[in-house]
Structure 1
Amino acid sequence: MNLRRLSELLGLSQTTVSRALNGFPEVNEVTRARVIAAAQRLNYRPSASAASLATGKACAIGHVVPLTEHMMINPHFSDFLAGAGEIYAQFGYEMLLRVVAQVDEADVYRDFASRGRVDGVVLHGPLTNDPRLPLLKSLGLPFVVHGRCDEEAKDYSWIDVNNRRAFYRATGFLADLGHRRIALINGLETMNFADRRRQGYEAVVAERGLEADPALVFSEDMVEPYGYRAAVELLSGPQPPTAILVSSVLPAMGVVRAMAEHGLRPGRDVSVIAFDDSLSFLQASGEGKTGEVPFFTAMRSSIRQAGRRAAEMLLEQIGAPDGAPRRELWEAELVIGQTTGPCPADRRTPVPADEGRG
């Protein structure tokens, strides 16, 4: 079904049909309703190029991936794009993905704005006090941040998970199970989300009087080999942890691999909690079935759903550019799986009498 065929079936000009679908005020409401109903019934979707001509908009959303030692092209990023792409397609928008050297990233945003290549952008991988924020504001380019760049975060639109609280809850859960030597295998802490996760972990360590050992904390790109290397170092040391908190299910898989090589079983010998983005390619067998217990105990929040919502927020901003910034902070769900259990009796250490629970 294309615009010409839809117009013929309705007995209307292509111009009238296009204007009805794109909200032009000169089309009366009866005609508009008739056109929209027919388009839905016949599964008609306007092409982005046709919509661009009709509305004067690019009908495209930009996503920029800087090439650095930290590669944003990973399963987390892919699932986010898949969710966002579903919303773009629903509203007749295309996705413009640019992969560039990090030093050229600012020039891409300037090109987007000066040439009208996109109607807005999603900012990925925000840093604390990220310099891209003032640049996008100065360009007048609508944007939504996946995450936050600062503590206040009041003058721009963003969607984020409450990372500090998620890791506060996860660390507290392990402490309640009797674990006192808890390791953190974190993401890159130049990234705002990882910095917040460490804050949550450290708050519980301080409040509960847990062992605060710098040798228990790691920070690197969240891939499986990193989790393996960190776990090997932890488990081979003179004082291995009884629990490990991992910033993604990908390095958590590496942790489990290292444990297997050391003859250790998750949940019995060492407890493991991962942050789980519900990645599409890692859906566990039987996941979601009644009575099935997931493998990893996890703080869970769907990154695909975050992609959908970020896209909706950006399109709302494009449609109402004078509206106030939108901010959404999601809470992660604690899902109990098979990888956590009480601290082994032979590894327990005395709890200080004045321990705070916070």
Structure 2
Amino acid sequence: MNLKELAQALELSQTTVSRALNGYPEVNAETRQRVVEMARKLGYAPNQQARRLATGRSMSIGHVIPRSIHEMMNPIFMEFVAGAGQTYSRHGYDMVISVVEDTKVNAAYREIATRKKADAVLVHGPRLADDRPALLRELDLPFLVHGRVPGQEKTTNWVDVNNRHAFERATNLLLDLGHRRIALLNGFEEMDFADRRRSGFEKAHADRGLETDPDIMKAADMTEPYGADNARRMLRSSNPPTAFLVSSMITAIGVARAISECGLKIGTDVSVITHDDALSFLPNSGDVPIFTCTRSSVRLAGTRAAELLIENILPNPDVPVSEYLEAELIIGQSTGPAPV
């Protein structure tokens, strides 16, 4: 299958097909989508070097990962990249990943822009105060944020889980079950996702005239020992929580271990709700899942981020795009009424 044959199958000119595949803005979205779908159906794979020469593009998408974020979010990042990578491949793009020291992030972006190593970048792990969007605009480097930067939602491109709403719903479920001492084991709260989750947790309490207890609200790297150590300490205190809301499945496994070590039964003596990124290697599965959870596939987020970047942002860089991914609230075996 070559370009001429693909054009004949579509009854379009070779020029139009080539421009559609290469993201030129003068080709309307409907035609571009028809061309992409037919190319995929017929197994057309353009010559990458020819595309680079023809378009002056690198045909690559960049990912610059600060080492601290990489270490903290590695399983989630790899699942995200799996989704994004499949989309890149389908559109004829390569992936360029740079893991750098935190102090060298801006230099890495500058190198991408000046050496034209990538046509656009995906930004990971946005913080509450994040200067990367401003730098990327200065460099005229198209980008999309996985997450959001507070105050810049209308001026940046992003894909994000509705973290505040997800944790508000989860907290309300526990409150409906009669729990009044609910522990929060969150990620680092200088990260936007964790700050929004805490906000949802607090809003659910405030809406019912209830106060949260800072002594049972923690924020740290989302590891299994973090969950186990904090849950064990809280459960052995004089005023233990009857429920936990947890920001990751890995941490929730630690919480479950601590509950068992304290001679308690999860879902009966202590309830647990966790956020589930639907990681392929850590399934929360079964007819009734092990954990009650707020579930949002991070692989799907990677797929959608890549699609928006290639299909919307590169052809129309001046039109901001954004997309909410609402989390499902799924009832599992880990929740029940508050013990009397």
The TM-score range, normalised by the shorter chain, is: 0.7 to 0.9
Number of the residue aligned with 1:112: 112
Unaligned runs of 5+ in 2: 25-31
The 1:137–1:253 alpha-carbon spacing in structure 2 relative to 1, beyond 3 Å, is: same
CA distance in 2, matches of 1:306, 1:137: 23
State the shift of 1:73 in Å: 4.8
Q: How does 1:134-283 map to 2 (within 5 A)?
A: 134-151=134-151, 153-283=153-283
State the shift of 1:210 in Å: 3.6
CA distance in 1, matches of 2:86, 2:274: 27
Number of the residue aligned with 1:305: 300
The 1:67–1:340 alpha-carbon spacing in structure 2 relative to 1, beyond 3 Å, is: same
Farther off after superposition, 68-77 or 215-224? 68-77
TM-score (norm 1): 0.83
Confirm or deny that 1:318 pairs with 2:284: no
Number of the residue aligned with 1:293: 288
Q: Deviations over 1:188-239 (max 9, x none)?
A: 0000110111111112223324452211001011122211111112112111
CA distance in 2, matches of 1:36, 1:229: 51
Q: Deviations over 1:102-147 (max 9, x none)?
A: 1000000001111111000011000113111111111110000111
SS of residue in 2 equivalent to 1:298: strand
Letter in 2 for 1:317: I
CA distance in 2, matches of 1:67, 1:82: 19
SS of residue in 1 equivalent to 2:65: strand
Aligned length: 323
State the shift of 1:159 in Å: 1.0
Q: Deviations over 1:257-285 (max 9, x none)?
A: 11111121111010000011111111245
For the 8 Å contact 1:186–1:220, the answer to whether it is kept is yes
Q: How does 1:68-79 map to 2 (within 5 A)?
A: 68=68, 71-79=71-79
Letter in 1 for 2:51: A
Number of the residue aligned with 2:29: none
Farther off after superposition, 264-273 or 48-57? 48-57
Number of the residue aligned with 2:84: 84
SS of residue in 2 equivalent to 1:68: helix
CA distance in 2, matches of 1:8, 1:59: 21
For the 8 Å contact 2:284–2:291, the answer to whether it is kept is no
CA distance in 1, matches of 2:199, 2:3: 59
- % of aligned pairs identical? 51
SS of residue in 2 equivalent to 1:264: coil
Letter in 2 for 1:134: A
Number of the residue aligned with 1:354: none
SS of residue in 2 equivalent to 1:337: coil
CA distance in 2, matches of 1:175, 1:41: 50
For the 8 Å contact 1:65–1:72, the answer to whether it is kept is no
Number of the residue aligned with 2:328: 333
Number of the residue aligned with 2:49: 49
SS of residue in 2 equivalent to 1:61: strand
Higher CA-based Rg: 1
Number of the residue aligned with 2:124: 124
State the shift of 1:36 in Å: 8.2
For the 8 Å contact 1:181–1:211, the answer to whether it is kept is no
CA distance in 1, matches of 2:36, 2:329: 43
CA distance in 1, matches of 2:333, 2:197: 23
The 1:295–1:99 alpha-carbon spacing in structure 2 relative to 1, beyond 3 Å, is: same
CA distance in 2, matches of 1:36, 1:153: 30
Farther off after superposition, 16-25 or 182-191? 16-25
Farther off after superposition, 197-206 or 139-148? 197-206
Number of the residue aligned with 1:343: 338
The 1:263–1:308 alpha-carbon spacing in structure 2 relative to 1, beyond 3 Å, is: same
SS of residue in 2 equivalent to 1:71: helix
CA distance in 1, matches of 2:305, 2:119: 14
The 1:215–1:47 alpha-carbon spacing in structure 2 relative to 1, beyond 3 Å, is: farther
CA distance in 2, matches of 1:342, 1:109: 51
Unaligned runs of 5+ in 1: 26-31, 287-291, 346-358
SS of residue in 2 equivalent to 1:222: coil
The 1:72–1:142 alpha-carbon spacing in structure 2 relative to 1, beyond 3 Å, is: farther
The 1:295–1:20 alpha-carbon spacing in structure 2 relative to 1, beyond 3 Å, is: same
The 1:338–1:97 alpha-carbon spacing in structure 2 relative to 1, beyond 3 Å, is: same
